Structure 1
Amino acid sequence: MSTSAGAVGAVGETTQPCPQCGAEIRADGRFTVWCAGCDWNVDPGQPVAEHGKLERRRRRLTRRHGERLLGEVAAGETLRPRRDAAGIAAHLLALAVHGVTVALAVGAVWFLVTGWGGAGVVLGVFLAVLAWTLRPRFSELPDDRPLLGRADAPALFGLIDEVAAVVGTRGVDTVAVSAELNASVTTYGIRGRRLLTLGLPLWEILTPQERIAVLGHELGHYSNGDTRHGLIIGNALRSLSIWRYFVAPTPDPTLVEAFVNLVYLVPRSLLQGLLALLDRLTLRATQRAEYLADSMAARAGSTEAAASVMNRFLVLDSAETMLRREANAQQVGRGRRGTADREPWQGLWERLRAHMASIPETEYERQRRVAALRGHSVDATHPPTHLRRTCLLTGPPLSAAVTPDAGTESRISTELAAASRTVAQRIVKHGLAH
């Protein structure tokens, strides 16, 4: 945050001349002071450090793929799910990875049965443990957050079903409520039941129409067939990561450990190459899936609401800072109850909404420019946010297919009340990490 002095206007507002071009700057003193005319101080911070070659390569590819897909949309092409040669190759590679796991399991059984005078039993047990560690996993329901079924929240599930019908899929089986500034979908159990995770901090700062757009985006992943997070490819990526962990070099090695590091050099390079290859084969399809999910968000909630959600994601750091401040205040004793009948967590969501509503448009604009400079994205596999927003605004604007009325919003709020209270208590007591 800049602390440059200037003439003070309204509370928190300052005015000063730009030291680079001389234009008058009107800024909210809580945020970075910058010049919209010449971009002075638009990005005073340091870029977030990227850990590992794979992440750096992934971010470069996501930006390149994102620009190409944006070019397709700008040329008038309609994005559709596509099974291409890269997707087929990714599935074949993933099946080969799982084939190794199966071979280990078969080998374990063979050695355990034959025995080989006792040595085979030891080897069989080792292979069995290795195969068990590498086995494909089915996700389970989380046990650390409130869970809602259809009977618990009929209005919420009714809204989800309505949005799902618009994006061409079915609804979900369970909703998990978390303390994350995010939303996501996945499957759980051997039957592939569907789970929607709603981060209450994100849900609370969105307008009703923005919430529809978020639901449209997340449910759109089911209809678009995002294979990267599917059972076959997702578990293959996980298995390769475990293999890489097994052969990772020992830091500050002894003489023996240095020899082991040298022996593992070839398999480690091979595993790194396989991970990079599978990542590259699936990344373009993942980018396409995100753009398709964005189009579903616009179809369900309107183009305006979907683009507004992109803006929200650019300033989520401010929301996170505010929530951490609330938690820190409680931990040092400044956030204890102010009255006999009021706990520190009460009114948290109202305070969060008020904070987000107070962010000036100049800060949104600054963050949009920073996003274009840095290639901001939700994570290393998502397309750059500014490209996603541009893609949404390139085509003809769509009106909302789903518009909840005030009664529906009120019923959903009532259904989420208990979970909302639980999440607010956790944030204030333990912070966002819990």
Structure 2
Amino acid sequence: MPGVTTTAATCPSCGTGTTALREAAPWCPGCEWNLDAYDPARRKREFAWGRLDRWAHRLAVGQFARLSARGLDDSGSPVARIVTMAVSVLLLAGVLALAATGVWLLVAFPFPNLSMLLGVVLLALAYALRPRFGRLDEHLTVLDRDRAPELFALVDEVAAAAGTPAPHVLAVDGTLNAYAGTVGVRRRRVLCLGLPLWGALPAGERVALLGHELGHFANGDPRRAPLVQPALTMLGSAADLVRPVGTVSGAGLLELVGLALAHAVQAVLARVLLASQLVLVAVALRDSQRAEYLADEMAARVAGTDAATGMLDALLAQESIALAVRRESRAGHGPDRWRAAVADARLAAADRLPLVRQLSVRDEVTLFAEHPPTGLRQRLLASRPRHEPLVVLTEQRRTRIDAELAAEYEKVRRAVSWAA
């Protein structure tokens, strides 16, 4: 198999020959000895300190293993959710206290006075630390029912089958991705389909993709909860505010010494705030990772287990999909040829797919991942009862949906063709 190396070493656990893929450290494909090894050559550093990165990797491996072994029926301890929400409430209270104090300093004393300056500073600080609820990406192409009735009908059908609310906004863009989220104070539900991915998937896997993304509107994902947003964003914003910036030049010796001391204090404070942010994110993302498993289960219930598994395999083959879409786009071809080229690429790589799934367990494990490794998601689906599809997208209906999106596909094709 191309890219697969059978090493001369044997597994010390079961005696099977070890395997290497994509220049990764070898592991045993049978008992998976050494699959959880930390491979620094293939990983982006998270803490820029080798020992701390290794510790975080081991912690993440154990966390994902416990999470996947626990299954979907066990929601686990609520401590992580309680801690995240409690910290969010405290942070919100702190910002409100800053704003209230700022207003009081502005109005409590006769004009003019120095307290007004402090009041303005506190109000500016409260504004900078305010929770961010997100906004609709201005680069999205927002669709309406008159423009894409077949696509909206399919989304509604999948939402009904999954028992989830439908999105308020349905949009497309030119990324090899798809996502569901909530934006604004009113938490409007947004579903975005990246056309290179959507166009490259066969009909059943498109239904699975919709089932997975819509599942996030009903699976308790903390990233969608407005009360959790402060814990995920505010300490990071505070770290950005206090991070030292070298903008002073030509100062005297005393000024330089004072500036160096101030920068040292700022640097320490920024790191403390950032470390606190990372701890909170790591705690909150434990529930997010379980939400991904639940979304995969919803995809299997709606589209069938085979389609959901195929959709996850497509996520593992994103590089191949990107190459196929770029090649066919430059040749002037649209989604029909994208899909055919991707199907050929996936068929050619079918023999090494089990190894790619295994390697994802090593490569995608990180303490700050929103998604569990794709290989673990595959395993959990395989361990669940099989599902037959509740929603079937026929080829005729798929063709009509693609025809509705013809103008958007053409924009994406041109953009991909011109990209370097």
Name the SS for the 1:51 alignment partner: coil
With the length of structure 2 as denominator, give the TM-score of the two structures.
0.81
Pairs aligned (count): 384
Name the SS for the 2:113 alignment partner: helix
Name the SS for the 1:236 alignment partner: helix
Task: Give the Cα separation in 1 of the matches to 2:367 and 2:63.
Answer: 16
Name the SS for the 2:42 alignment partner: coil
With the length of structure 1 as denominator, give the TM-score of the two structures.
0.78
Question: Residue 91 of structure 1 is aligned with which of 85, 88, 112?
Answer: 85
Q: Does 1:70 align with 2:71?
A: no
Kindly report which structure 2 residues correspond to 1:156-235, keeping only aligned pairs within 5 A, or say none: 156-235=151-230
Contact 1:163/1:402 (<8 A) preserved:
yes
Match of residue 99 from structure 2 = 105
Task: Give the Cα separation in 2 of the matches to 1:83 and 1:211.
Answer: 34
Closer, same or farther in 2 for the Cα pair 1:260/1:2, shift >3 Å? Answer: farther
How far apart are residue 259 of structure 1 and its match? Answer: 1.0
Q: Does 1:381 align with 2:370?
A: yes
Match of residue 343 from structure 2 = 357
Whichever residue aligns with residue 382 of structure 1, its letter is: H
Closer, same or farther in 2 for the Cα pair 1:134/1:421, shift >3 Å? Answer: same
Task: Give the Cα separation in 2 of the matches to 1:377 and 1:391.
Answer: 18
How far apart are residue 244 of structure 1 and its match? Answer: 1.2
Q: Show CA shifts across 1:250-304 (max 9, x none).
A: 5899644431232235533542343133223312211211111111011111111
Name the SS for the 2:239 alignment partner: helix
- Decide which moves more: 141-150 or 154-163: 141-150
Task: Give the Cα separation in 1 of the matches to 2:59 and 2:201.
Answer: 31
Task: Give the Cα separation in 2 of the matches to 1:376 and 1:151.
Answer: 43
How far apart are residue 50 of structure 1 and its match? Answer: 2.9
Match of residue 401 from structure 1 = 390
Whichever residue aligns with residue 153 of structure 1, its letter is: A
- Decide which moves more: 349-358 or 147-156: 349-358
Task: Give the Cα separation in 1 of the matches to 2:356 and 2:243.
Answer: 38
Q: Does 1:392 align with 2:394?
A: no
Match of residue 251 from structure 2 = none
How far apart are residue 241 of structure 1 and its match? Answer: 0.8
Task: Give the Cα separation in 2 of the matches to 1:101 and 1:183.
Answer: 34
Whichever residue aligns with residue 310 of structure 1, its letter is: L
How far apart are residue 235 of structure 1 and its match? Answer: 3.4
Name the SS for the 2:45 alignment partner: coil
How far apart are residue 60 of structure 1 and its match? Answer: 5.1
Task: Give the Cα separation in 2 of the matches to 1:377 and 1:273.
Answer: 16
Whichever residue aligns with residue 409 of structure 1, its letter is: R
5+ long unaligned stretches in structure 2? 10-15, 25-40, 249-255
Contact 2:143/2:171 (<8 A) preserved:
yes
Task: Give the Cα separation in 2 of the matches to 1:391 and 1:100.
Answer: 41
Contact 1:47/1:374 (<8 A) preserved:
yes
Closer, same or farther in 2 for the Cα pair 1:58/1:206, shift >3 Å? Answer: farther
- Decide which moves more: 53-62 or 175-184: 53-62
Q: Show CA shifts across 1:125-152 (max 9, x none).
A: 2222221122223333222121102232
Question: Residue 425 of structure 1 is aligned with which of 411, 414, 419?
Answer: 414
Q: Show CA shifts across 1:163-190 (max 9, x none).
A: 1112221211221111111111112333
Kindly report which structure 2 residues correspond to 1:10-409, keeping only aligned pairs within 5 A, or say none: 20=8, 38-44=17-23, 46-52=41-47, 61-73=59-71, 78-79=72-73, 84-114=78-108, 117-250=112-245, 255-264=257-266, 267-322=269-324, 346-359=332-345, 360=348, 361-375=350-364, 380-409=369-398
Match of residue 252 from structure 2 = none
Contact 2:98/2:125 (<8 A) preserved:
yes
Whichever residue aligns with residue 428 of structure 1, its letter is: S
Task: Give the Cα separation in 2 of the matches to 1:259 and 1:85.
Answer: 39
Please give the root-mean-square deviation of Cα atoms over the aligned residues, in Å: 3.3
